[in-house]
Structure 1
Amino acid sequence: MADEVPQLIDVDEVPELVDVDEDDVPDLVDVGEAAAEPRGRARTPIAVRKMVRDKVPITLLTGYLGAGKSTLLDYIMTENHGYRIAVCMNDYGDTTDIESKALQFSNDDGNDPSAGMLALPNGCLCCSFKDLGIAAIEDMVAAQREKVDWVVVELTGLADPAPIAKSFWANEEMGDLELDSVVCVVDSRNVLKQIDEARDDGSPSECQRQIACADVILLNKTDLVTPEILDEVTAAVAAINPTLRVYRTDHSQIGLDKLFNLRAYAAAPTAIEECSDCISHTHTKGHAHTHGHHSHGITTTTIPLPPLSAEQFAALNDFLEEFIWAGKLLVDSKPVSWDGEPPEILRTKGFMLVDGEEKVVQGVADLFDIQPAVGSGDAQPKLVFIGRRVDSRLGDVVRARLGI
C-alpha cells in the first residue's frame, strides 16, 4: 500500500487508517505502531536541514487539560529527536521536572530578550510566555535564532485557538516567524462528553472550537478505550472538521515529522488537497455539502468550484471580503435571509483555477488571504468553510455570485 493516499472522510463512515509513502502524505499512526516506535530515536541532521525555511515556523499546541499536551511537550524537551525546538509553555508547572533537566538558565536582565529561556540537554529551548505578547516571543526567538529550527507554542486548555492563530498569522510584528499549523490533542476517553458541552450562552464548547481550528488531531489515550468508542470518537471529530489529519496515539507518542512542516497556512495546494471531504463519491457534482452533528453547533460545508474567469474571481473575492471581513451575505446587493444570526467562520480553506492559474485561499476567523499556489497539485477546486451555522446555503450564495 506504499503508493496509496488516505481515504476521504465521510461523516457517515468511520475512516480507515492507511499506510502511505512517507515522501508523499504522512502515515496515519495506529496505536500499535506508535507504541512500537522508539522514543529516543534521533533524526539525522540531513532530515532536520530539509525542514529549514526562510522563517522559523510556529506550531500552536492546543487541547483540554489532561488530554496529553504535557506528555507531548515532555517528549519534545527531553528526547534526542534531532530537532532544535523552542517551546513556549503557558506555565512551567504544566510540565514535570523541566527546570531540573536544564543545562542553564539565563539571567534576569530585563534588557536581555533571551531572559527566561531554558537550554535543554537535547538541544531544545523552553520558556514561559504567560502574560507575554507575540512581540516578546519573537524577540526571545530572534536572540536564539541560530539555535532554533522550530517554535511550539502551548495554549491553555480552555483557549479558543482561532483568535490566537489569527494573531500569529496576520501580525506584521512576526518578523522571522510564520504560523505553520495548529495541533490539537484530545483525550479519547472524555472527548465525546467535551464535544457535547456548551457554553452558558449556548455557543459551541472550547473543545469543539479547538477541533474546528486544528489542522492535526491526536486522538490520545487510545489504550484506554474500546475500538468501538475509538471509531465513534474518530467519526465525531471528523464531523466537526473533515479537513483534519487524524492520528491515534498512546501517551502522545508520534513522530514529530507528522506534526511539523505541514504548511497549513501556506499557499501550497497540498494544504488543500489533503482536506478529507467526500464530494467526489457521495454527493452530486457542483453542489455544496455539509458535515455536522446534531449537538456540535460547528459544521463544515464544502463548495466545489469550476475553473474561474478573471471576472468570476473578482466576484468571488468580493464575496469573501463581504462575508468573512464584514459578516455580510449579499446577492444582487441584497442581504440573504438567514435563520437567526449569520454564520460565524472559524477556518476557511480553498483552491481555485483562475484563467489556468492555481490560487490558494487560507483564512482564520475574520481574516483571509488569496495567494498564487506554490508548487503543483491535483487538488480539486473548492471552498471549505468551518464554523457555526454553516450549511449548504453558502454554496447557493457562491454560485449566485459567480453566475453559475
Structure 2
Amino acid sequence: MEDEEPPRLLEVSSPEPEAGPSTSSKDQYDRPKIPLTLLTGYLGAGKSTLLDYILKEEHGYKIAVCMNDFGDTTDIEAKSLTLSDPNSQQTTTEFLSLPNGCLCCSFKDMGIAAIEEMVANAPGGIDWVMVELTGVADPGPIVRSFWANEEMGDLILDGVVCVVDSRNVQKQLAEQRDGDEINECQKQVACADVILLNKLDLVTKDQMKEVESTIRTINPTLKVHHTTHSRMPLSDLFNLRAFSDPTAITSAQQQDDDHVNEHKHDGEECSHPSHIKTESHTNGIKTVLIPLPLLNQEQYLRLNEFLESLLWESKILPSKSPSPEILRSKGYILLEDGREYVLQGVADLFELKELPDISNQAGTSDDNNGKVVFIGKGVGEEIKNALIDFVGI
C-alpha cells in the first residue's frame, strides 16, 4: 500500500531570472511594436531617391528598408533589406526571397513572415521598417495583408506614404484602362495617408497648386508635403499611427483649411474638397465626406451595420442597392456617453476601434464633430443620404 501512495511534492525555490531581455508572454505583449511604412508611388516618382536619402542621411533612426534592388519591374524575385545604423558610418544588406514575385499586385504571408524574421535578427534592434512597393503596384491588397497580420510578430502598420512626380502626375492620373478601370496611380493616391509632391523644382508655382488641388480632390484626408529630390524631415513620415490615431483625419482637414485660406483670391472661396463634400475625378473616382453628430448607442450599432453591408456585401442600406467600389474608408465617431472610435478601412476590410482616454490626447478635436470619409469609384450623395437615413441622424 505504501508503494501505491503518490509521492510527496517538494517545495523548490525558483531560480533567479538571468539579466537581459525578458521572454515572458506579458513582456512580449507589452513590448512596443515596430512601425512599418509602405512606400508607394508611380514609376519615376522618386521612391528610390527617398530611400537613398534615408540610408545615407544622419537622421538618428535605425531603419530597415525593404527595397526593389534592381528597379521597378514586376519580375524581380529578390529584395534587399538594408539596415541604416545612426551609430555607424556603414549600412548592412541582406536579401530575402519572395518566391511568387515582387511586392506588386499581391503580397503573401510568407513575405511578411520573412520581413519579421529579418527584423527580429537585426543586431541591436531597429526603430522603423520601410517597405518599398513597385511603381505599378496596387497598394490595396498589400495594405490589407499587413493590416490583417499586424498582430503577428513585432511589426505594426504605421501608414502608407506615396511619392508623386508633380511634373507628370496629371498625365498619369488621366491614363485610361480597359473598361474605365481605376489605374494604379489613382489607387496609390487614394490609399495613401501622406503624399510627397516631389520634383518641386521642375514645376511652376501655379502648376504645383493645380497638382495639389487634384491630389486633394481624390483624397482630402491626406497630409501633403512639397519636396525636391524627395528630401524632407523624416520625423514627418515616422510614427504616423495612421491606422489608430483619431487625429489623423482632423489634422489633415486642418491642413486643408490652411491650404484654402492661402489660396483665396479676390474674396472668393477656392473650389476645394473641404468646401465641396463630393468631387468627381478621372475614371469616376469621388470622395464623400459625411459629418456626424454625437451618436447614441443605437445609432452607433446602425452605423456599424451600414458599414458591414456597404463594405462586406457591396450593398447600400436600407434599399440594398449595389455599392460603388470603395478604395479607402476613414472616420472619427463620437458617442453621447463619451466613447470615441476611429474608423479605418481598405477595400472590404474595416475596423471600428474604441479609443480609451482620448480626451487627454493632444490634438484631439474638441468641437464634438465626427465624420466619415469614403474614397472610391462612384461614391457620392447616394451613400451620404443613405447613411443619414439608415443611421437616423
**TM-score normalised to the size of structure 1?**
0.74
1:297 is displaced (CA, Å) by 2.4
1:348 to 324, 329, 345: 329
Q: Deviations over 1:254-283 (max 9, x none)?
A: 0101111110001x221221232679x999
1:368 to 327, 344, 350: 350
The question of whether the paired residues in 1 share the 8 Å contact of 2:191 and 2:327 is answered with yes
Cα distance change on mapping 1:399 and 1:129 into 2, 3 Å: farther
1:55 to 33, 37, 43: 33
Q: Deviations over 1:310-342 (max 9, x none)?
A: 1111111111111111211121xx423x6xxx3
Cα distance change on mapping 1:171 and 1:317 into 2, 3 Å: same
1:94 is displaced (CA, Å) by 3.2
2:53 to 75, 91, 99: 75
Residues 1:269 and 2:257 are matched in the alignment: no
1:319 to 290, 306, 311: 306
Separation in structure 1 between the aligned mates of residue 352 and residue 370 of structure 2, nearest angstrom: 14
Matched residue, 2:291: 304
Residues 1:291 and 2:279 are matched in the alignment: yes
**Superposed, which structure 2 residues align to 1:84-99 within 5 Å?**
84-89=62-67, 91-94=68-71
Unaligned runs of 5+ in 2: 1-29, 73-78, 99-109, 261-268
379-388 or 138-147, which deviates more: 138-147
Matched residue, 1:394: 383
Residues 1:168 and 2:173 are matched in the alignment: no
Matched residue, 2:111: 133
The question of whether the paired residues in 2 share the 8 Å contact of 1:360 and 1:370 is answered with yes
The question of whether the paired residues in 1 share the 8 Å contact of 2:66 and 2:81 is answered with no
Cα distance change on mapping 1:143 and 1:121 into 2, 3 Å: closer
**Superposed, which structure 2 residues align to 1:1-400 within 5 Å?**
54-89=32-67, 91-94=68-71, 117-120=81-84, 122=86, 126-129=93-96, 131=98, 133-144=111-122, 146-171=124-149, 174-266=152-244, 268-276=245-253, 289-293=277-281, 295-331=282-318, 334-336=319-321, 342-354=323-335, 355-374=337-356, 375-376=358-359, 377-378=364-365, 380-400=369-389
The question of whether the paired residues in 1 share the 8 Å contact of 2:64 and 2:83 is answered with no
Q: Deviations over 1:223-270 (max 9, x none)?
A: 01111111111111111101111111110110101111110001x221
- Which amino acid counterpart does residue 270 of structure 1 have in structure 2? T
How high is the sequence identity, in percent, across the aligned residues? 53
Cα distance change on mapping 1:129 and 1:60 into 2, 3 Å: farther
1:53 is displaced (CA, Å) by 7.4
Separation in structure 1 between the aligned mates of residue 331 and residue 123 of structure 2, nearest angstrom: 33
Q: Provide the alpha-carbon RMSD of the alignment.
A: 2.7
Cα distance change on mapping 1:394 and 1:282 into 2, 3 Å: farther
The question of whether the paired residues in 1 share the 8 Å contact of 2:81 and 2:96 is answered with no
- Which amino acid counterpart does residue 299 of structure 1 have in structure 2? K
1:147 is displaced (CA, Å) by 2.1
Unaligned runs of 5+ in 1: 1-51, 96-114
1:69 is displaced (CA, Å) by 0.5
Aligned partner of residue 174 in structure 1, secondary structure: coil
Equivalenced residue count is: 321
Q: Deviations over 1:38-94 (max 9, x none)?
A: xxxxxxxxxxxxxx97101100000112111111000111121110000011x2123
Separation in structure 2 between the aligned mates of residue 243 and residue 84 of structure 1, nearest angstrom: 29
Separation in structure 1 between the aligned mates of residue 386 and residue 201 of structure 2, nearest angstrom: 45
1:177 is displaced (CA, Å) by 0.6
Cα distance change on mapping 1:393 and 1:222 into 2, 3 Å: same
If asked which structure has higher relative contact order (CA below 8 Å, sep 6+), I would say 1
Separation in structure 2 between the aligned mates of residue 129 and residue 53 of structure 1, nearest angstrom: 25
Moved over 4 A (4+): 115-130
